[in-house]
Structure 1
Amino acid sequence: MELDLRFKIAHREALIGLGLAIVHFLWWFGFAYGLGSRPVEEYTYILGFPDWFFYSCIVGFILVSVTVIILAKYILKDVSFEEEEDGQ
């Protein structure tokens, strides 16, 4: 039994999404607990936010949002959910 091409595309795109989620979590965790584990007196502030929060939550969100837009525009494919007939 041959696997439908749509499933191959869906699996590839699911792996891309999972990879992006893992990278985002590692980014967030690294900055939040890496920079955030210092004593409060040693914090530096960017736009009024502690640096760990700024890099983990604000910059991380912006980077992931831009990455999702680029992936959706150039990498991910539009796949029809309609069943194709053999004659078409």
Structure 2
Amino acid sequence: MEEHHTHDNDSRYKVANREALIGLGLVVFNFVWWFAFAYGLGGKDPSDYLYVFGLPAWFFYSCVLGFIVMAVLVTIVVNKWFVTVSFEEEGEDT
């Protein structure tokens, strides 16, 4: 009789859930970073803006630096905590 795997005894689901939660955490961090700089620095009169490399500081920190920070964070997280998971059924002959 063939044994069917359930979510309870398949470790791939635990790995996928953990990695999904890490991904959601990164998304929330990215949104908070972007929102804080975009509206924190950009919520004043444009004549009072500070500029970084010719860009308004709010845009530079929220969009340019935010992108760089997220690219580095995602790279570190994927290399350190994400694992390769086989999509083949356990015990399946290939």
Q: TM-score range by the shorter chain?
A: over 0.9
Aligned to 1:30: 36
Greater Rg over alpha carbons, structure: 2
Instruction: Report the TM-score when normalising by structure 1.
Output: 0.93
Aligned to 1:83: 89
Aligned to 1:16: 22
* CA RMSD, 1 decimal: 1.5
Deviations along 1:52-86, whole A, 9 cap, x unmatched? 00000000000000011111111101101011118
> Aligned residue pairs: how many?
87
User: Deviating runs (4+, > 4 A) in structure 1?
Assistant: none
Structure 1 SS opposite 2:42:
coil
Deviations along 1:2-58, whole A, 9 cap, x unmatched? 331000000000000000000000000000001000101110100010000000000
Aligned to 1:39: 45
Identical aligned residues as a percent: 52
2:10 to 4, 7, 14: 4
Unaligned runs of 5+ in 1: none
Instruction: Report the TM-score when normalising by structure 2.
Output: 0.87
